[in-house]
Amino acid sequence: MMTTLIEAVIAFFLMVGGGFMFVGSFGLAKLPDTMRRLHGPTKATTLGIGALLIASLLYFVVLNGAAGIHEVMITLFLFLTAPVSAVMIAKAHLFRSEAVQRALPEDDNGAGWATLAPPPDGIDHRPS
Amino acid sequence: MIAAASAFAIGAILIAILLNLYRLIAGPDVTDRILALDTMVINAIGLIVLTGILFSTTMYFEAALLFAMVGFVSTVAFCKFLMRGNVIE
Protein backbone atom coordinates (compact mmCIF):
# COMPACT_ATOMS: atom_id res chain seq x y z
CA MET A 1 0.00 0.00 0.00
CA MET A 2 1.23 3.47 -0.83
CA THR A 3 1.88 5.48 2.29
CA THR A 4 1.04 9.16 2.50
CA LEU A 5 4.69 10.14 2.93
CA ILE A 6 5.94 8.47 -0.25
CA GLU A 7 2.91 9.83 -2.08
CA ALA A 8 3.81 13.34 -0.95
CA VAL A 9 7.40 12.84 -2.13
CA ILE A 10 6.21 11.65 -5.55
CA ALA A 11 3.77 14.57 -5.83
CA PHE A 12 6.59 16.98 -4.88
CA PHE A 13 8.85 15.65 -7.63
CA LEU A 14 6.00 15.78 -10.15
CA MET A 15 5.33 19.44 -9.33
CA VAL A 16 9.03 20.35 -9.41
CA GLY A 17 9.36 18.59 -12.77
CA GLY A 18 6.35 20.28 -14.33
CA GLY A 19 7.41 23.67 -12.98
CA PHE A 20 10.95 23.47 -14.30
CA MET A 21 9.83 22.23 -17.72
CA PHE A 22 7.52 25.24 -17.91
CA VAL A 23 10.33 27.58 -16.83
CA GLY A 24 12.66 26.17 -19.51
CA SER A 25 10.15 26.66 -22.30
CA PHE A 26 9.24 30.11 -20.98
CA GLY A 27 12.90 31.06 -21.20
CA LEU A 28 13.02 29.74 -24.74
CA ALA A 29 10.07 31.93 -25.70
CA LYS A 30 11.06 35.03 -23.71
CA LEU A 31 14.83 35.54 -23.97
CA PRO A 32 16.12 37.93 -26.64
CA ASP A 33 18.74 36.07 -28.73
CA THR A 34 19.78 32.53 -29.67
CA MET A 35 22.74 32.17 -27.32
CA ARG A 36 20.61 33.29 -24.37
CA ARG A 37 17.69 31.14 -25.51
CA LEU A 38 19.97 28.09 -25.26
CA HIS A 39 20.04 28.42 -21.46
CA GLY A 40 16.39 27.59 -20.84
CA PRO A 41 16.03 24.23 -22.62
CA THR A 42 19.51 22.96 -21.77
CA LYS A 43 19.35 23.57 -18.02
CA ALA A 44 15.82 24.05 -16.72
CA THR A 45 14.12 21.54 -19.03
CA THR A 46 16.75 18.88 -18.32
CA LEU A 47 16.27 19.39 -14.57
CA GLY A 48 12.50 19.14 -15.05
CA ILE A 49 12.61 15.89 -16.99
CA GLY A 50 15.04 14.51 -14.38
CA ALA A 51 12.59 15.31 -11.57
CA LEU A 52 9.71 13.74 -13.52
CA LEU A 53 11.71 10.56 -14.10
CA ILE A 54 12.65 10.40 -10.38
CA ALA A 55 8.93 10.64 -9.56
CA SER A 56 8.16 7.88 -12.07
CA LEU A 57 10.96 5.69 -10.66
CA LEU A 58 9.65 6.09 -7.07
CA TYR A 59 6.06 5.45 -8.17
CA PHE A 60 6.84 2.17 -9.93
CA VAL A 61 9.18 1.03 -7.13
CA VAL A 62 6.29 1.42 -4.68
CA LEU A 63 3.75 -0.07 -7.10
CA ASN A 64 5.66 -3.12 -8.29
CA GLY A 65 8.22 -3.56 -5.51
CA ALA A 66 11.08 -3.46 -8.02
CA ALA A 67 12.94 -0.66 -9.77
CA GLY A 68 12.64 -0.52 -13.53
CA ILE A 69 15.63 0.06 -15.78
CA HIS A 70 13.68 2.21 -18.24
CA GLU A 71 13.64 5.44 -16.26
CA VAL A 72 17.35 5.16 -15.52
CA MET A 73 18.05 4.58 -19.22
CA ILE A 74 15.94 7.57 -20.31
CA THR A 75 17.59 9.78 -17.66
CA LEU A 76 21.09 8.72 -18.65
CA PHE A 77 20.38 9.17 -22.34
CA LEU A 78 18.81 12.63 -21.94
CA PHE A 79 21.52 13.86 -19.57
CA LEU A 80 24.25 12.67 -21.92
CA THR A 81 22.69 14.05 -25.09
CA ALA A 82 21.44 17.47 -23.88
CA PRO A 83 24.93 19.08 -23.75
CA VAL A 84 25.88 17.56 -27.11
CA SER A 85 22.83 18.96 -28.87
CA ALA A 86 23.37 22.34 -27.13
CA VAL A 87 26.95 22.47 -28.43
CA MET A 88 25.81 21.53 -31.94
CA ILE A 89 23.14 24.25 -31.96
CA ALA A 90 25.61 26.83 -30.60
CA LYS A 91 28.15 25.94 -33.29
CA ALA A 92 25.54 26.10 -36.04
CA HIS A 93 24.52 29.52 -34.74
CA LEU A 94 28.16 30.70 -34.68
CA PHE A 95 28.56 29.45 -38.22
CA ARG A 96 25.41 31.08 -39.58
CA SER A 97 25.33 34.40 -37.73
CA GLU A 98 26.82 37.22 -39.78
CA ALA A 99 27.30 39.51 -36.77
CA VAL A 100 29.14 36.83 -34.78
CA GLN A 101 31.36 35.98 -37.75
CA ARG A 102 32.30 39.64 -38.17
CA ALA A 103 33.04 40.05 -34.46
CA LEU A 104 35.40 37.05 -34.36
CA PRO A 105 39.03 37.33 -35.55
CA GLU A 106 40.06 35.76 -38.88
CA ASP A 107 40.59 31.99 -38.79
CA ASP A 108 43.14 29.90 -40.65
CA ASN A 109 41.13 27.62 -42.89
CA GLY A 110 38.35 29.89 -44.12
CA ALA A 111 35.57 27.76 -42.66
CA GLY A 112 34.64 29.98 -39.72
CA TRP A 113 35.18 29.13 -36.08
CA ALA A 114 32.46 26.50 -35.96
CA THR A 115 34.11 23.77 -38.04
CA LEU A 116 37.60 22.39 -38.34
CA ALA A 117 37.90 22.20 -42.12
CA PRO A 118 36.03 23.64 -45.09
CA PRO A 119 33.14 21.56 -46.42
CA PRO A 120 34.16 18.91 -48.99
CA ASP A 121 32.30 20.52 -51.90
CA GLY A 122 34.42 23.65 -51.59
CA ILE A 123 31.40 25.97 -51.41
CA ASP A 124 31.52 28.67 -48.77
CA HIS A 125 28.28 28.20 -46.80
CA ARG A 126 28.82 31.25 -44.62
CA PRO A 127 26.36 34.11 -45.02
CA SER A 128 27.92 36.67 -47.34
CA MET B 1 -2.43 13.64 -4.25
CA ILE B 2 -0.52 12.12 -7.14
CA ALA B 3 -3.45 12.71 -9.50
CA ALA B 4 -3.57 16.41 -8.59
CA ALA B 5 0.20 16.80 -8.99
CA SER B 6 0.03 14.99 -12.33
CA ALA B 7 -2.73 17.34 -13.48
CA PHE B 8 -0.57 20.33 -12.51
CA ALA B 9 2.44 18.92 -14.36
CA ILE B 10 0.38 18.10 -17.46
CA GLY B 11 -1.00 21.65 -17.50
CA ALA B 12 2.50 23.11 -17.13
CA ILE B 13 3.86 20.93 -19.93
CA LEU B 14 0.96 21.81 -22.21
CA ILE B 15 1.66 25.53 -21.76
CA ALA B 16 5.36 24.79 -22.30
CA ILE B 17 4.60 23.03 -25.60
CA LEU B 18 2.51 26.02 -26.70
CA LEU B 19 5.46 28.33 -25.92
CA ASN B 20 7.74 26.01 -27.92
CA LEU B 21 5.27 26.14 -30.80
CA TYR B 22 5.39 29.93 -30.66
CA ARG B 23 9.19 29.86 -30.88
CA LEU B 24 9.02 27.25 -33.66
CA ILE B 25 6.81 29.54 -35.75
CA ALA B 26 8.28 32.94 -34.81
CA GLY B 27 11.95 31.99 -34.41
CA PRO B 28 14.01 34.49 -36.39
CA ASP B 29 16.70 32.00 -37.39
CA VAL B 30 16.63 28.31 -38.22
CA THR B 31 18.79 27.46 -35.16
CA ASP B 32 15.98 28.82 -32.93
CA ARG B 33 13.57 26.49 -34.68
CA ILE B 34 15.88 23.50 -34.16
CA LEU B 35 16.16 24.40 -30.46
CA ALA B 36 12.37 24.71 -30.18
CA LEU B 37 11.92 21.28 -31.82
CA ASP B 38 14.46 19.71 -29.45
CA THR B 39 12.69 21.21 -26.43
CA MET B 40 9.35 20.06 -27.77
CA VAL B 41 10.61 16.47 -27.98
CA ILE B 42 11.77 16.63 -24.35
CA ASN B 43 8.36 18.01 -23.33
CA ALA B 44 6.66 15.17 -25.22
CA ILE B 45 8.83 12.68 -23.28
CA GLY B 46 7.66 14.30 -20.04
CA LEU B 47 4.05 13.96 -21.17
CA ILE B 48 4.58 10.27 -22.00
CA VAL B 49 6.14 9.62 -18.56
CA LEU B 50 3.18 11.38 -16.89
CA THR B 51 0.76 9.23 -18.91
CA GLY B 52 2.58 6.14 -17.67
CA ILE B 53 2.19 7.32 -14.05
CA LEU B 54 -1.51 8.15 -14.51
CA PHE B 55 -2.38 4.78 -16.08
CA SER B 56 0.05 2.83 -13.81
CA THR B 57 1.71 1.05 -16.72
CA THR B 58 5.35 0.77 -17.76
CA MET B 59 4.34 0.14 -21.37
CA TYR B 60 5.02 3.70 -22.52
CA PHE B 61 8.68 3.90 -21.50
CA GLU B 62 9.85 2.29 -24.73
CA ALA B 63 8.06 5.06 -26.60
CA ALA B 64 9.76 7.68 -24.41
CA LEU B 65 13.17 6.11 -25.06
CA LEU B 66 12.53 6.05 -28.82
CA PHE B 67 11.43 9.71 -28.72
CA ALA B 68 14.64 10.63 -26.89
CA MET B 69 16.82 8.86 -29.45
CA VAL B 70 14.99 10.22 -32.52
CA GLY B 71 14.98 13.75 -31.07
CA PHE B 72 18.72 13.71 -30.39
CA VAL B 73 19.61 12.25 -33.79
CA SER B 74 17.39 14.71 -35.66
CA THR B 75 18.85 17.70 -33.76
CA VAL B 76 22.40 16.64 -34.51
CA ALA B 77 21.53 15.89 -38.15
CA PHE B 78 19.92 19.33 -38.62
CA CYS B 79 22.94 21.09 -37.09
CA LYS B 80 25.38 18.99 -39.12
CA PHE B 81 23.49 19.84 -42.27
CA LEU B 82 23.58 23.56 -41.46
CA MET B 83 27.30 23.53 -40.74
CA ARG B 84 28.54 21.21 -43.48
CA GLY B 85 25.84 21.23 -46.14
CA ASN B 86 25.70 17.46 -45.76
CA VAL B 87 24.69 14.98 -43.07
CA ILE B 88 26.89 11.97 -43.87
CA GLU B 89 30.09 12.89 -45.69
Distance from B88 to chain A by nearest Cα, in Å? 11
| pLDDT tens by residue, B8-44 | 999 999 999 999 999 999 978 899 999 999 999 999 9
Report in angstroms the alpha-carbon separations of B10 from A29, B14, B80: 19, 6, 33
Cβ atoms within 10 Å of A78's Cβ, excluding its own = 22
Contact A71 B32 (CB under 8 A): no
State how far the Cα of A118 lies from the Cα of B22, in Å rounded to an integer.
Answer: 34
Q: Are A16 and A51 in contact (CB under 8 A)?
A: yes
Distance from A92 to chain B by nearest Cα, in Å? 6
Q: Which residues contact A74 (CB under 8 A, 6 or more apart)?
A: A53, B45, B49, B61, B64, B65, B68
Contact B22 A29 (CB under 8 A): yes
Nearest by CB: B82 against A37, A40, A92: A92
**CB contact B46 to A (< 8 Å):** yes
Chain centroid to Cα A98, Å, comes to 25
State how far the Cα of A99 lies from the Cα of B28, in Å rounded to an integer.
Answer: 14
Contact A53 B49 (CB under 8 A): yes
pTM summary value: 0.86
Give the DSSP H or E segment for A50. helix A46-64
Confidence label for B87 from pLDDT (cuts 50, 70 and 90): confident
Contact A18 B12 (CB under 8 A): yes
- Report helix angle B30-55 to B61-84, nearest 10: 170
Nearest to B49 by CA among A78, A27, A9, A65: A78
State how far the Cα of B56 lies from the Cα of B76, in Å rounded to an integer.
Answer: 33
Cβ atoms within 10 Å of A90's Cβ, excluding its own = 18
Q: Could you give the ipTM of this predicted complex? A: 0.90
State how far the Cα of B57 lies from the Cα of A109, in Å rounded to an integer.
Answer: 54
| pLDDT tens by residue, B49-80 | 999 999 988 888 899 999 999 999 999 999 98
